[in-house]
Structure 1
Amino acid sequence: MSRLNAPSPDGVPETTQGILDNIGAQFGFVPNMFMTLASNPTVLDVVMTLQGTLSRVLDAKTRHTIALAVSQANGCDYCLAVHTYVSSELGGMSSDDIDLARAGSSIDPQRAAVARFAQQVVASRGQVSDADLAAVRGAGYTDPQILAIVTVTVQILLTNFINNVNRTDIDIPAVSPAGLPG
């Protein structure tokens, strides 16, 4: 059971209703995480603005790969469920590639390097080695792209932390530890 209170649909602040309507149009419903965030309109705005802005820094499959790799490394069941759903249903990723991303890899060599690097950023709390940087550069990423990878990683950590603190009730098909639908 979620540990933080979410407003009832009637109790959503007017300033956030438009944001929730847009989220609902995308998913077909408003996921619990966003309902919880709606209790603090400023936090909801920060998360949505960050997600919107970062949607422009890397291609969608790379961002999905980072989200899956980071959520797995950080043990966020809610985010794993959401990102598995989004990657599959909206992002066109195969179940094999989703499982590989969770394991820090990919069917695509460049995205595999990103997944490994993102997980290393999490594991080392940003204290990556020269070899970690060399590996992601060796996969073809430039320093500006590496900055984008780190920033997307941190954005995913933000929502991982929120959902881990809250123990957000999973309202999207859950995933098993192996990455198969739960």
Structure 2
Amino acid sequence: MSRLNVLPADEHSADVRSTLDQVGAQFGFVPNMFTMLASNPTVLDLVMTVQTKASRLLDARTRHTIALAVSEADGCDYCLALHTAGSLKGGMSVEDIELARAGSSVDPKRAAVARFAQRVIETRGRVSDADLAAVRGAGYTDPEILAIVTLVVRALLTNYLNNVNLTDVDIPAPDLA
């Protein structure tokens, strides 16, 4: 059960209702995470802005791989459900989703990014020279490494918000068979 109080829908400003309508159009419903975020319009706006800007970093499968690796490392059930569903919709295989959660991938370049993302979490950003060499060796440039770290932090933001709240998972369970 969620631990933070959520504002009733009729108490939201027109701007917040508009944002939630956009989220609803994207998902087919308004996920609990966004309802929770709407209780603080500035936080909702911040998360939406970060999500929008982050969608321009790297390719979608790499972004999903990072989100899955980070959410698994953080134990965020809500984000794991959300990113698993999104990854399937985005064309990732069940095997690749499971590997991403374990810090790997069927693709060697994405495997390196998944391992690096988990190392960023484990070391609180104090990765070793060997960690940097491994991700560079997989073909990532320094500007792309900045993007990877940014995507890790984006995932951490929603992981922490959902973990503090214990947001009720309302994402339909995808068929992983």
Return the TM-score normalized by structure 2: 0.96
CA shift, 1:173, in A, is 3.1
Q: Would you say the 8 A contact 1:31–1:171 is kept in 2?
A: yes
Q: Distance in 1 between matches of 2:173 and 2:152?
A: 22
Partner of 2:50: 50
Unaligned runs of 5+ in 1: none
Matches within 5 A, 1:16-27: 16-27=16-27
AA aligned to 1:94 is S
Q: Distance in 2 between matches of 1:94 and 1:12?
A: 38
Q: Which residue is 1:69 aligned to?
A: 69
Kept in 2, the 8 Å contact 1:69–1:104? The answer is yes
Instruction: Structure 2: give runs of 5+ residues left out of the alignment.
Output: none
CA distance in structure 1 between the aligned counterparts of 2:176 and 2:29, rounded to whole angstroms: 23
Alignment of structure 1 residues 147-166 onto 2, 5 Å: 147-166=146-165
How much has 1:12 moved relative to structure 2? 2.1
Q: Deviation of residue 11 (structure 1)?
A: 2.2
Partner of 1:100: 99
How many positions carry a matched residue from both structures? Answer: 177
Q: Residue 169 of structure 1: SS of its match in structure 2?
A: coil
State the 1:9 CA deviation. 2.2
Task: Tell me the amino acid that sits aligned with residue 169 of structure 1.
Answer: D
Q: For residues 76-96 of structure 1, give each alpha carbon's deviation from its aligned partner in whole angstroms, at most 9, with x where no partner exists.
A: 01110111011112x111111
Indicate if the aligned counterparts of 1:61 and 1:87 stay in contact, CA closer than 8 A: yes
Counterpart-to-counterpart distance in 2, 1:85 and 1:43: 24
Report matched runs for 1:129-140 at 5 Å.
Answer: 129-140=128-139
Structure 2 residue identity aligned to 1:63: R
Q: Distance in 2 between matches of 1:146 and 1:160?
A: 21
- Measured in 1, the distance between the counterparts of 2:123 and 2:49 equals 27
Q: How far, CA to CA, are the matches of 2:176 and 2:11 in structure 1?
A: 36
Alignment of 1:40 onto 2:40:
yes
- SS of residue matched to 1:117: helix
In structure 2, the partner of 1:143 is: 142
> AA paired with 2:125?
G
- Give the Cα separation in 1 of the matches to 2:139 and 2:125: 20
Q: In structure 2, how many angstroms separate the alpha carbons of the residues matched to 1:61 and 1:103? A: 15
> Do 1:13 and 1:38's aligned partners in 2 also have CA atoms closer than 8 Å?
no
TM-score, normalised to structure 1, is 0.94
How much does 1:112 deviate? 0.5
Q: Distance in 2 between the 1:82 and 1:5 partners?
A: 21
Measure how far apart 1:130 and its partner are: 0.5
CA deviation after TM superposition for structure 1 residue 8, in Å: 2.0
Task: Find the counterpart in structure 2 of residue 112 from structure 1.
Answer: 111
Q: 1:124-170 CA deviation, whole Å, 9 max, x = no partner?
A: 10010000000000000000000000000001000000000000000
Measured after TM superposition, the shift of residue 13 of structure 1 is: 2.1
